[in-house]
Amino acid sequence: MKNHDKLFINGYWVASTGSARLDVISPSTEERIGSIPDGTAQDADAAVRAARAAFDGWSATPAAERAALLQKIHEGMKARSEEIGRTIAGEVGMPLKLATRIQAGSPTFTFGMYAKLLGSFAFEEKVGNSLVLREPVGVVVAITPWNYPLHQIACKVAPALAAGCTVVLKPTEIAPLNAFILAEIMEAAGVPKGVFNLVTGTGPVIGEALVNHPDVDMISFTGSTRAGKRISELAAKSVKRVALELGGKSAAVILDDADLAAAVKGTVNACFLNSGQTCSAHTRMLVPAGKYDAAAKLAIEAVKGFTLGDPFAETSKLGPLVSKAQRDRVRGFIDKGIAEGAELLTGGPEAPDDLARGWYVKPTVFGRVDPKSTIAQEEIFGPVLSIISYRDEDEAVRIANDTIYGLAGAVWSASDAHALAVAKRLRTGQVDINGGTFNMLAPFGGFKQSGHGRELGKFGLEEFLEYKSLQMRPEAAG
């Protein structure tokens, strides 16, 4: 049981100004595993004021000193990686092996990456008679989701600190325990007072107070498109910079010349990772009409390898969904798919026979899905794959692009050149070519209603910087 009764503001662990608490519930046992403060608008104000007061000093700190501090944080996270993995397996439900490798490994890498990147990043350059500077945007509010909680925190906090910004973090109240571990690591690393602040609570209360705060310069948000629109509306009142990483409905386009078995297996894996609770999941599999039957059989076979169970059990490859509400929502989409005439190939809305407790959903595959149907258009955020057939490549591209989203995707072909040609036609932020793996140095983000702005690598650092041009006299510039 991990009960946290204080917030981290201005370098101190302090009590919330309110007395309410929020319980953290295990998705596999449905039991309480911890609690956190349900923060108030007053807590938000205190955190922002601390970040504002710390900004001048931190922004003037040499890049080498900021890098050294990020490296200390990286080392602190590495030392506690097992604890982080177990914590996130418990509050999110991802199987422990995967949670340790991905949920703990990725954010640890991110802090180390930005420590190294600061050694070569150019914060100023000469352009004609101008000296062009890159300066920190200011006080940043980071609002993060529950599916990859610490990874998404690191994608915002690490580059913001690297840029010289000060930060107020509001993690999800559904899976917040990992954020307290990070705050403890920050404290132990010697982060200056006010540079990093942690407040917890709900979006409508503390989240909106942060977004509305006049001393906040930027909001970086990852979550639902609905919430992203709300944040944009509030931030527009004071013209705050906003970076959004939102939903997705990504298509894996399997071309006629592809290795069908490898492509189907790769797509199923990309769809079901973290029980389908991945914004970039490949949830639509587009196959040539003449290969539909073979693809359907291969998909059914691939699903057999996704053993549902306790995230702490060695045999589990698929854990529960994060909450009862999420489980019920996903089952509702499965019911909708059946009602709209899609062919249920495997899985379904019923509870798994051997898992009476926990918010589990059977890994589900639909075939002969209408590309305009609900399950082909809306983000389900669960282990549900839709197989859609197409007549030719032009139709495949049209179907892949025909959603409000544009976050990720894949193209499979016998030829990388052929796959690249099709990938360039997809309106999406990243495309995996023939199973290409995720690159933490490449920009991550989306087109259309998947958001705007980019995370990771130098591109993520640039999100937290402003340009300033200093026009020099010609003789001084030379």
Tokens of 69: 């501090």
CA 307-255-438 angle, 5° bins: 55
d(CA 223, CA 8): 23
Nearest to 345 by CA among 367, 368, 328, 330: 367
d(CA 381, CA 44): 30
Nearest to 404 by CA among 225, 220, 222: 225
Beta-sheet strand order (sheet of 32-37): 2-3, 32-37, 21-25
Distance from the first to the final alpha carbon of the chain: 64
Selecting among 165, 271, 279, 379, the annotated active-site residue is 279
Nearest to 408 by CA among 249, 246, 223, 275: 249
Decide: residue 358, CB within 10 A, 0-12 exposed, 13-18 middle, 19+ buried: buried
Selecting among 91, 173, 245, 393, the annotated active-site residue is 245
How far, in Å, are 25, 28, 35, 353, 383 from residue 3 at the CA level?
A: 12, 19, 5, 33, 31
> What are the φ and ψ backbone dihedral angles of 225, each rounded to 5 degrees?
-65, -35
Tokens of 420: 């690249």
112 beta partners = none
- Could you confirm whether 245 is annotated as catalytic? yes
- Could you confirm whether 208 is annotated as catalytic? no
Nearest to 54 by CA among 85, 91, 9: 9
> What are the φ and ψ backbone dihedral angles of 133, each rounded to 5 degrees?
-105, 150
How far, in Å, are 2, 198, 274, 332 from residue 16 at the CA level?
A: 17, 11, 33, 38
d(CA 195, CA 165): 8
| Residues assigned a catalytic role | 245, 279
